[in-house]
Protein backbone atom coordinates (compact mmCIF):
# COMPACT_ATOMS: atom_id res chain seq x y z
CA UNK A 1 0.00 0.00 0.00
CA UNK A 2 1.37 3.46 -0.88
CA UNK A 3 0.94 6.16 1.72
CA UNK A 4 1.31 9.84 1.07
CA UNK A 5 1.36 12.16 4.06
CA UNK A 6 2.17 15.83 4.11
CA UNK A 7 4.90 17.73 5.82
CA UNK A 8 4.04 21.25 6.81
CA UNK A 9 5.91 23.81 4.72
CA UNK A 10 7.71 25.20 7.74
CA UNK A 11 8.29 22.75 10.60
CA UNK A 12 5.47 20.57 11.88
CA UNK A 13 4.24 17.39 10.24
CA UNK A 14 0.55 17.17 9.43
CA UNK A 15 -1.40 14.13 10.51
CA UNK A 16 -3.85 12.02 8.58
CA UNK A 17 -2.08 10.01 5.90
CA UNK A 18 -3.94 9.43 2.68
CA UNK A 19 -3.83 5.84 1.50
CA UNK A 20 -4.14 4.49 -1.99
CA UNK A 21 -4.53 0.80 -2.66
CA UNK A 22 -2.14 -1.27 -4.71
CA UNK A 23 -3.40 -4.20 -6.79
CA UNK A 24 -3.89 -7.42 -4.87
CA UNK A 25 -2.01 -10.48 -6.14
CA UNK A 26 -4.10 -13.57 -7.04
CA UNK A 27 -4.53 -15.88 -4.11
CA UNK A 28 -4.31 -19.64 -3.78
CA UNK A 29 -7.32 -21.13 -2.03
CA UNK A 30 -7.21 -24.47 -0.25
CA UNK A 31 -10.09 -26.89 -0.73
CA UNK A 32 -10.66 -30.49 0.18
CA UNK A 33 -9.13 -31.49 -3.17
CA UNK A 34 -6.02 -29.35 -2.68
CA UNK A 35 -4.96 -25.86 -3.64
CA UNK A 36 -6.69 -24.23 -6.59
CA UNK A 37 -5.19 -21.30 -8.43
CA UNK A 38 -7.43 -18.28 -8.66
CA UNK A 39 -8.24 -17.89 -12.36
CA UNK A 40 -9.20 -14.25 -11.95
CA UNK A 41 -6.94 -11.91 -13.93
CA UNK A 42 -4.75 -9.53 -11.99
CA UNK A 43 -6.50 -6.26 -11.30
CA UNK A 44 -5.22 -3.48 -13.54
CA UNK A 45 -2.21 -1.58 -12.27
CA UNK A 46 -2.88 2.04 -11.40
CA UNK A 47 -2.18 4.33 -14.31
CA UNK A 48 -1.04 7.90 -14.36
CA UNK A 49 -4.11 9.90 -15.21
CA UNK A 50 -2.66 13.38 -14.69
CA UNK A 51 -2.76 14.94 -18.12
CA UNK A 52 -3.21 18.63 -17.30
CA UNK A 53 -0.65 21.37 -17.68
CA UNK A 54 2.77 20.80 -16.21
CA UNK A 55 4.74 23.48 -14.38
CA UNK A 56 8.21 24.37 -15.52
CA UNK A 57 11.03 23.23 -13.27
CA UNK A 58 12.87 26.57 -13.47
CA UNK A 59 12.01 28.51 -10.31
CA UNK A 60 13.74 31.62 -11.63
CA UNK A 61 15.58 34.18 -9.53
CA UNK A 62 14.74 34.73 -5.85
CA UNK A 63 11.82 37.10 -5.22
CA UNK A 64 12.82 40.72 -5.66
CA UNK A 65 12.11 41.82 -2.11
CA UNK A 66 11.96 40.47 1.42
CA UNK A 67 8.52 40.47 2.99
CA UNK A 68 7.24 40.05 6.53
CA UNK A 69 4.79 37.15 6.40
CA UNK A 70 3.31 38.02 9.79
CA UNK A 71 1.56 41.25 8.79
CA UNK A 72 -1.78 41.74 7.09
CA UNK A 73 -3.68 44.74 5.89
CA UNK A 74 -4.98 46.38 2.78
CA UNK A 75 -6.28 43.82 0.31
CA UNK A 76 -5.22 40.72 2.22
CA UNK A 77 -2.17 39.08 3.68
CA UNK A 78 1.34 39.77 2.47
CA UNK A 79 2.63 36.42 1.25
CA UNK A 80 1.49 32.92 2.13
CA UNK A 81 1.54 31.52 5.64
CA UNK A 82 1.87 27.89 6.69
CA UNK A 83 -1.87 27.30 6.94
CA UNK A 84 -2.53 28.73 3.46
CA UNK A 85 0.08 26.39 1.97
CA UNK A 86 -1.39 23.39 3.80
CA UNK A 87 -4.96 24.27 2.74
CA UNK A 88 -3.87 24.39 -0.91
CA UNK A 89 -1.65 21.29 -1.02
CA UNK A 90 -3.00 18.78 1.53
CA UNK A 91 -6.13 18.04 -0.59
CA UNK A 92 -3.76 16.87 -3.36
CA UNK A 93 -2.23 14.05 -1.27
CA UNK A 94 -4.52 11.38 -2.76
CA UNK A 95 -3.51 12.31 -6.30
CA UNK A 96 0.16 12.44 -5.28
CA UNK A 97 -0.23 8.95 -3.79
CA UNK A 98 -1.67 7.81 -7.12
CA UNK A 99 1.46 9.13 -8.87
CA UNK A 100 3.56 6.95 -6.56
CA UNK A 101 1.38 3.86 -6.99
CA UNK A 102 1.29 4.20 -10.77
CA UNK A 103 5.08 4.42 -11.03
CA UNK A 104 5.84 1.52 -8.66
CA UNK A 105 6.53 -1.82 -10.35
CA UNK A 106 5.27 -5.25 -9.25
CA UNK A 107 8.43 -5.79 -7.19
CA UNK A 108 7.77 -2.65 -5.16
CA UNK A 109 10.44 -0.52 -6.82
CA UNK A 110 9.35 3.05 -7.11
CA UNK A 111 9.28 6.30 -5.18
CA UNK A 112 9.84 5.90 -1.46
CA UNK A 113 10.57 8.25 1.45
CA UNK A 114 10.52 12.03 1.56
CA UNK A 115 9.57 13.94 -1.59
CA UNK A 116 10.26 17.67 -1.49
CA UNK A 117 8.60 20.29 -3.66
CA UNK A 118 9.80 23.87 -4.07
CA UNK A 119 7.28 26.07 -5.85
CA UNK A 120 7.07 29.62 -7.11
CA UNK A 121 3.56 30.96 -6.44
CA UNK A 122 2.19 34.15 -7.96
CA UNK A 123 0.24 36.61 -5.83
CA UNK A 124 -2.85 35.56 -7.82
CA UNK A 125 -2.63 32.20 -5.99
CA UNK A 126 -1.48 30.15 -8.99
CA UNK A 127 1.68 28.04 -9.04
CA UNK A 128 4.19 29.16 -11.66
CA UNK A 129 6.99 26.59 -11.33
CA UNK A 130 7.80 23.50 -9.27
CA UNK A 131 10.96 21.52 -8.60
CA UNK A 132 10.57 17.98 -7.23
CA UNK A 133 13.38 16.27 -5.33
CA UNK A 134 13.93 13.16 -3.24
CA UNK A 135 11.87 10.02 -3.06
CA UNK A 136 13.87 8.20 -5.72
CA UNK A 137 11.01 8.41 -8.21
CA UNK A 138 11.35 8.10 -11.96
CA UNK A 139 10.99 11.00 -14.37
CA UNK A 140 7.42 9.75 -14.93
CA UNK A 141 6.74 10.21 -11.18
CA UNK A 142 8.25 13.72 -11.19
CA UNK A 143 6.16 14.70 -14.22
CA UNK A 144 3.01 13.42 -12.52
CA UNK A 145 3.78 15.35 -9.31
CA UNK A 146 4.44 18.56 -11.25
CA UNK A 147 1.10 18.16 -13.02
CA UNK A 148 -0.74 17.58 -9.74
CA UNK A 149 0.73 20.64 -8.00
CA UNK A 150 -0.05 22.76 -11.09
CA UNK A 151 -3.71 22.40 -10.10
CA UNK A 152 -3.18 23.81 -6.58
CA UNK A 153 -4.89 27.10 -5.81
CA UNK A 154 -3.57 29.25 -3.01
CA UNK A 155 -5.26 32.26 -1.45
CA UNK A 156 -4.39 35.49 -3.22
CA UNK A 157 -1.93 37.72 -1.42
CA UNK A 158 -0.24 41.10 -1.66
CA UNK A 159 3.40 41.38 -2.44
CA UNK A 160 5.76 39.67 -4.86
CA UNK A 161 5.72 36.08 -6.04
CA UNK A 162 6.80 33.69 -3.35
CA UNK A 163 8.95 30.56 -3.32
CA UNK A 164 7.65 27.99 -0.86
CA UNK A 165 8.79 24.55 0.23
CA UNK A 166 6.50 21.63 1.03
CA UNK A 167 6.91 17.89 1.20
CA UNK A 168 5.20 14.56 1.61
CA UNK A 169 6.21 11.01 2.47
CA UNK A 170 5.71 7.99 0.24
CA UNK A 171 5.79 4.66 2.12
- pTM: predicted TM-score of the whole model, two decimal places: 0.68
Strand partners, 164: 119
The pLDDT of residue 77 is above 90: no
Q: What is the pLDDT of residues 119-133, one digit of tens each?
A: 999 999 999 999 999
CATH code of domain 77-171: 3.30.2420
> Helices H, strands E: what count in the chain?
3, 7
- Residue 166 burial by Cβ neighbours in a 10 Å radius (0-12, 13-18, 19+): buried
pLDDT higher at 28 or 119: 119
Amino acid sequence: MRTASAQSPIVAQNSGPVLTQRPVQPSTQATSTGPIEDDEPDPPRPRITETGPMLTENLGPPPSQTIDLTTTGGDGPIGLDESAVSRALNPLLGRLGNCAAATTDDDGRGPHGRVGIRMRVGNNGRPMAARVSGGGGSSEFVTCVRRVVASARFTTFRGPEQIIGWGFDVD
